[in-house]
Structures are given as C-alpha cells and as structure tokens.
Amino acid sequence: MRKAGEAVRSFDDAYSSKINKMYEGQPSPVRALAALIGGGHPTFRKGQTDSEVMNYALPAASAVPKYVMPAVGIGLAGQAAVDLASSQQSSGTLGL
C-alpha cells in the first residue's frame, strides 16, 4: 500500500512540475496563480506557507484543475453520448 501511495505522489509531483514549467519566464503573480489555481502545487503534499490554512488549501485547490475538472468533463461527455444514442435509438438509426 505504501508503494502505491509513493507512486501516486511521484506521478503527481511530475505532473505539477510540468504545469509549472509551462509558466517559466512569466511574472511572479502569474506563476503564483498557476500554483494556486492552475494545478501547479503537488496535490498530495502540504503547502509551505506561513498560513496553516493555505498549507491545506493549496493541495486541495490544485486537485481541482488536475483531476476533478477532467473527470467531470469525461463524465459529461459520456452522458452526452448516452443521451445521443438514446434519442437516436427510437428511430432505428444512429445519425452521425
């Protein structure tokens, strides 16, 4: 179980690093926003700020653009495909 957790953390660290590299050369406020709301902070590591609240908020906020939004998008796309197939099924053909 511990190795699985380490593998997930390692994957997330690499993912966060790639996101941060997209913002290299940008002004500091842009890089800070990338870490805060763009997924640039590792999701499975506590933040390193002076605020204890932010130490826990950073990983949670970072999970949304990296994992939650893509999962919701896939779910919505799947639901749209099911709805399309259901609406076309009554006519006996599947229009493309």
- The pLDDT, as a whole number, for residue 92 is 58
The whole-number mean pLDDT for each consecutive block of 10 residues of the chain, a chain of 96 residues, reads 88 93 91 84 90 90 91 90 80 58
**φ, ψ for residue 44, nearest 5 deg:** -105, 25
E strands within the chain? none
Assign 3-class secondary structure to 7-23.
HHHHHHHHHHHHHHHHC
For the chain, which residues make up each domain, given as ranges?
Answer: 2-63
CB 58 within 8 A of CB 34: no
- The pLDDT, as a whole number, for residue 32 is 85
- The pLDDT, as a whole number, for residue 47 is 87
- The pLDDT, as a whole number, for residue 35 is 78
